[in-house]
Amino acid sequence: MRGKRIAKIVIVLAVVGIGYAAVKDDIAKLWQDLHVKIVEHPTPKKTVWLDQGIAKEKLSWFYHADQGTRTFGFPYEWFMALEQPTISWLPFTKVGLFSDTAYLDRYGFIPDTIIPGKQALPIGFAKGTPMLDPTGAPWKNPRNKQDMTGVGLTCAACHTGSFTYKDTAVVIDGGPALTNLFAMKQGMGISLLLTRYWPGRFDRFAERILGPDSTVDDRETLKNQLDQVLAQYKQVKNLEERVASQSILEGYGRLDALNRIGNQVFSIDLKKPENYAGSSAPVHFPRIWNTPWFDWVQYNGSIMQPMVRNAGEALGVSAELNLTEPSKGLYKSSVDLKSLDEMEQMIKGKNPPNAKDGFSGLKSPKWPGDILPPIDQKLADKGAELYKTHCQECHRPPVTSEAFYDFNNKDWWTKNEAGEAILKVENVPISHIGTDPAQAADMLARTVAVPDHLGIKSSSFAFALGELVEKTVNTIFDQQKPPASAAERKRMDGYMPNELRGELAYKVRPLNGVWATPPYLHNGSVPTIDDLLGDPEKRPTKFHLGSREYDPVKLGYKTDPIANGFEFDTSIRGNSNRGHEFRKDYSKEREVKGVIGPELSADDRKALIEYLKTL
């Protein structure tokens, strides 16, 4: 008998083992789908804002200025009521709110404490105006029938940086964020799913949205609204899975912004799944000080007009846009052009660049010698000579020098339609600079299917996007009462035409503030400036992003392994860390792809790094 029992147990265990083997991938996938990996940062003792020429009150406005975005696909009231995507294994147990600033900080969103005592969402979150539901109707609270309010990200979410040194956090306005946007959207999807189905969650959510005296019908309507949003999230998840083989994990501090803008407008807004493309070319969030005075923007120098650049960004983070129902007005959108213009003017400043005052508006940060180790001026002076020899030809003289403002140099300066000085940024061919080609090449290669009723002439992604954004902007201008005048439109367009280009090249810009903008190269593949200037064969092939701790010697974030951080693998297409190299085989007479200068000694690198701190 005992032998038979053992045999039965063995058979049962074998069946269980076979069953587990058959479904283990499904179990692993379910766990992955319900688990968000985000870093937990130590809380700094204090947070410091550097003086970058903008008053704190103006920055406080900028951080939350509504651009008309609806990034999350649900209202502000839901955002404040949702709980974190944590499974409490004891049913009906409360968990923290998703909107808790300490929790959002783990995704990289910086708490807004610039004005002490003022309650605020994290930097880059904006409470907006009444929004539409997934059917295109005004989104109403099922209980009181009041309009629900939009919520979305602003440009400050991606273009406000931060680092910590010891126990102090330093905010860099206009610097690259260290956010993980994809992880946050994943977390929101899980939170919505748990709200709908996990015991106790919906009841708590309903009470926050509807109040304590809601009816069964009110609650059922709220459930239907949840189902509609979940269906949208599932649709995007399916699209992401369909193009997963083409996509690269973006992680902390990066986004394939242009492809994601294209996916939003040409696939989701247009309801054309075939237009959805993989995120094949993530880029490091660029610094934005001085950019209103550049003739071309984007890493590949593809967009000229400020309004098209900014309105495209707003559309990319899900401003409402009608592309499918002519009866409701094609190109009707929630994009707030007035807000976009005010933000642009804050960054731009009132005066064109000049030798006396430099660039107005948002200024690049100065090395905080009271927080970081002070600059060795003697060593920096040596580095200044090295900069002239190895860097100045492409990156220009420092913006604090008179030599930078040589307006007679037609290769450096041009003018906009108002006669203001505009900096000409050079687009350097990839065949020379040798950095990863994916961002430029994939934008150039991408095409989109566009229906005739939109009146868009080109199927090339870049040019179709430029047309679409311009039509959206013009529609908004026309719908203003009275419609915006031609003179006002030109002013808000930055006195620049809507020109676009697609080249296998990347633009080069001045290096003021570069010390505060790690990691480096357009795709963020080189963690520190020391790595960038050193032996390219010794650049880290794998490193971790997620830590904010700054290394003032190498100029970059600490990249030691960190729990739930992002491992950057430079062997993957789109992630290459090659190019912009200083090597022994450099020759002025014979070009070697990716080699831009001779090998630098350790002492020369230290001197050059010390000088870059002064910019």
- The string of pLDDT tens digits covering residues 66-98 is 999 999 999 999 999 999 999 877 777 789 999
Contacts of 58 (CB under 8 A, 6+ apart): 346
Per-residue pLDDT of 20-78, as tens digits, reads 455 445 444 544 556 788 999 889 999 999 999 999 999 999 999 999 999 999 999 99
pLDDT of 31 reads 45
pLDDT tier at 511, thresholds 50, 70, 90 = very high
pLDDT of 532 reads 98
**Bond before 75 cis per omega within 30 degrees:** no
List, in sequence order, the alpha helices (H) in 435-545: 438-445, 461-479, 486-492, 529-533
Sign (positive/negative) of CA torsion 569, 517, 175, 573?
A: negative
Distance between CA atoms of residues 194 and 188, nearest Å = 10
pLDDT tier at 8, thresholds 50, 70, 90 = low
Task: Report CA 189 to chain centroid distance, whole Å.
Answer: 19
Burial of 441 (0-12, 13-18, 19+ CB in 10 A): middle
- ∠ CA 516-521-526, nearest 5°, is 80
Tokens coding 381: 């002076």
Q: Which residues of 404-413 are buried (b: 16+ CB within 10 A; e: fewer)?
A: bbeeeeeebb
**pLDDT > 90? residue 17:** no
**pLDDT > 70? residue 7:** no
Residues 533-542, mean pLDDT to the nearest whole number:
98
Sign (positive/negative) of CA torsion 254, 257, 259, 265?
A: positive
Maximum alpha-carbon separation in the chain: 102
Strand, coil or helix: 145 = coil
pLDDT of 589 reads 87
pLDDT of 37 reads 86
Phi and psi, residue 201, nearest 5°: -70, -45
pLDDT tier at 9, thresholds 50, 70, 90 = low
Residues 4-16, mean pLDDT to the nearest whole number:
54
Task: Name the residue with tokens 């961002």.
Answer: 439
Distance between CA atoms of residues 407 and 101, nearest Å = 46
The pTM for the full model equals: 0.93
Per-residue pLDDT of 411-469, as tens digits, reads 999 999 999 999 999 999 999 999 999 999 999 999 999 999 999 999 999 999 999 99
3-state secondary structure 398-421: CCCCHHHHCCCCCCCEEECCCCCE
Q: Please state whether beta strands 160-165 and 168-173 pair in parallel, antiparallel, or not at all (unpaired).
A: antiparallel
Strand, coil or helix: 208 = helix
**pLDDT > 70? residue 298:** yes
| Region of poorest pLDDT, from 20-34, 41-55, 187-201, 241-255 | 20-34
Distance between CA atoms of residues 277 and 553, nearest Å = 40
Q: What is the CA radius of gyration of the chain?
A: 26
Per-residue pLDDT of 111-165, as tens digits, reads 999 999 998 999 999 999 999 999 899 999 999 999 999 999 999 999 999 999 9
Which residues share a beta bridge with 568?
543
pLDDT tier at 601, thresholds 50, 70, 90 = very high
257's enclosing H/E stretch is helix 257-263
Distance between CA atoms of residues 302 and 406, nearest Å = 25
**pLDDT > 50? residue 580:** yes
Which residues share a beta bridge with 542?
569
Residue 351, Cβ neighbours under 10 Å: how many? 13
**pLDDT > 80? residue 586:** yes
**Bond before 273 cis per omega within 30 degrees:** no
pLDDT of 233 reads 97
C-beta of residue 151 within 8 angstroms of C-beta of residue 279: no
Residues 207-220, mean pLDDT to the nearest whole number:
97
Per-residue pLDDT of 375-399, as tens digits, reads 999 999 999 999 999 999 999 999 9
Residue 559, Cβ neighbours under 10 Å: how many? 24
pLDDT of 20 reads 45
Distance between CA atoms of residues 604 and 582, nearest Å = 12
**More reliable by pLDDT, 551 or 93:** 551
Sign (positive/negative) of CA torsion 270, 271, 272, 278?
A: positive
DSSP-derived letter for residue 437 is -
Distance between CA atoms of residues 318 and 298, nearest Å = 20
